[in-house]
Amino acid sequence: MLPRDAGIYLDNAATTRPDPAALEAARAFEDAHFGNPSSLHGPGVAAAREVERARQAVADALGAAPDEIVFTSGGTESNNLALKGAAPPRGGHVVVSSIEHPSVLRTADALRRRGVKVTVVGVDRRGVVSPAAVAAALTPRTVLVSVMHANNETGTIEPVAEIGRLCRERGVLFHTDACQSFTRAPLDAGSGAFDLISVNAHKIHGPKGVGALYVRRGTGLAPLLDGGGHERGLRSGTLNAPGIVGFGAAVRLARDASPYETQRLRDRLLVLLRRGIPGLRLNGPEDARLCGHLSVTLPRGDAKELAQALSARGVFVSTGSACAAGKTAPSHVLLALGLTPAQAGRTLRLTLSRMTTRAEVDAAAAALVELAGSVHA
C-alpha cells in the first residue's frame, strides 16, 4: 500500500486506497481456503462458506436477500450484464440518461447496433434526471430504464427511487449503477423500486476486480457467459473468492464508518477554494451530492496542466472519469450540464474518502489556490 506520506490522494471516485483490513481478509482467505468454492470436498466447502458470508454482507448493505446477489468482476461487467441480459436479442426499447458511466452508454450503443431502440434522457443544469422526463420517454416497447444513483464526476444524487417506482407501475425493469454511492448514500433494494443494482469493491476501499449485481427475485436475465452455471447460472466462471472475501470485509468496514466527517471536510475544501479562487464554479447541486465529491470549474487556465502541476507537488486529483482517461474530447457529463467545451477543459474533480484528513484538505487547497493564481487568462 502507498505510504500515507507519499502524497495527498483526492481521486477517490476513480479508486480508493485499499483498507488494510480488507486486504488482510483476502490474503488470509487465500492462505487458509484455497479450494474452489464449487467443489464438494472440505476445502471447497470451507471456501464456499466464506464466499456466502461476503454475499450476506453485500446483501445486508443493499437491503436484499443473499440469493439476489450475483458476484462479477466489477461495475463494468455488472452494468453489461444488467443491460444486455435484460434486453431482448433484438427489438425492444431501452432508456438511459445522458450522464451515465461509459459502461452503460457504450453498452446501450451495442444494444442499438443489434436492433434495440435507445432513448437518451437529458439532465438539468444541476445534473439531475427528471422522473417526468423518464416517464415521457417510456413506450409500450420499453423493457429497461437505467439511471445511475450518483454521478461519478459531479457526485449528484439522482431521484432513483421515484424513477424506479414509476417504472414498476409501467411494468418496466429499472437498473441503477450504484458503484459510486454504495455504502455512502441510502439505497434500499427491498423497497420494490429496483430490479437491478450494480456495485463494486474498489470504490469502498476494497480490492479491484470484484463487484456484484443485485438481481431482484423473478427478474428475467440472460447470462453474458456460458459455462459451468455458477452464480445461479447468471455468471459462469470460477469465483474470485479472495476478492469476494475482501469485498465483504470492505462492506462491513464501510457500514461501520460515518459519512459526515468526509462531508464536513468536503465542505471545508469548497469553502477554502471559493475563498482563494474568485469565480470558481461548483458543478452540480450544493446539497444533493455524495459526501466526498466536488467538481469545480476554474475561471481560467487548463485543468490537465493544473492537475499535472498538483501531481508534481504530491496532490493527486483528476479532470474527470478515470474510465475515460486519455480522451481529448470534453466530458459528456459536463456538456450535459450545459458547460461549454472550454469550461469543461477548466474543470477538476476532487474526491475525498473516509481516509482523507483535515491536514490533507488544507494542504491541497493551499496548493490549488497558489497554482490557480499563477495562471493568467
Question: What backbone torsions phi and psi does residue 72 show, to the nearest 5 degrees?
Answer: -135, -175
* Per annotation, catalytic residue among 167, 179, 291, 323: 323
Our answer to whether residue 323 is catalytic in this structure is yes
Torsion sign over Cα 49, 53, 54, 56: positive
Picking from 158, 159, 254, the residue whose alpha carbon sits closest to that of residue 206 is 254
Q: Strands 93-97 and 8-9, how do they pair?
A: unpaired
Rounded CA-CA distance 46/115 in Å is 45
Picking from 250, 252, 257, the residue whose alpha carbon sits closest to that of residue 210 is 250
Rounded CA-CA distance 123/251 in Å is 31
Rounded CA-CA distance 313/333 in Å is 28
Picking from 29, 141, 162, 158, the residue whose alpha carbon sits closest to that of residue 94 is 141
282: cell is 461548483
270: cell is 469548497
Residue 20 is which amino acid? P
Picking from 176, 174, 164, the residue whose alpha carbon sits closest to that of residue 219 is 174
168: cell is 414498476
Query: How far is CA 327 from each of CA 11, 118, 330, 347, rounded to the nearest angstrom?
Result: 18, 24, 8, 15
Q: Where are the beta strands (DSSP E) in 2-81?
A: 8-9, 69-72
Question: What backbone torsions phi and psi does residue 135 show, to the nearest 5 degrees?
Answer: -60, -40
Which residues does the annotation mark as catalytic?
323
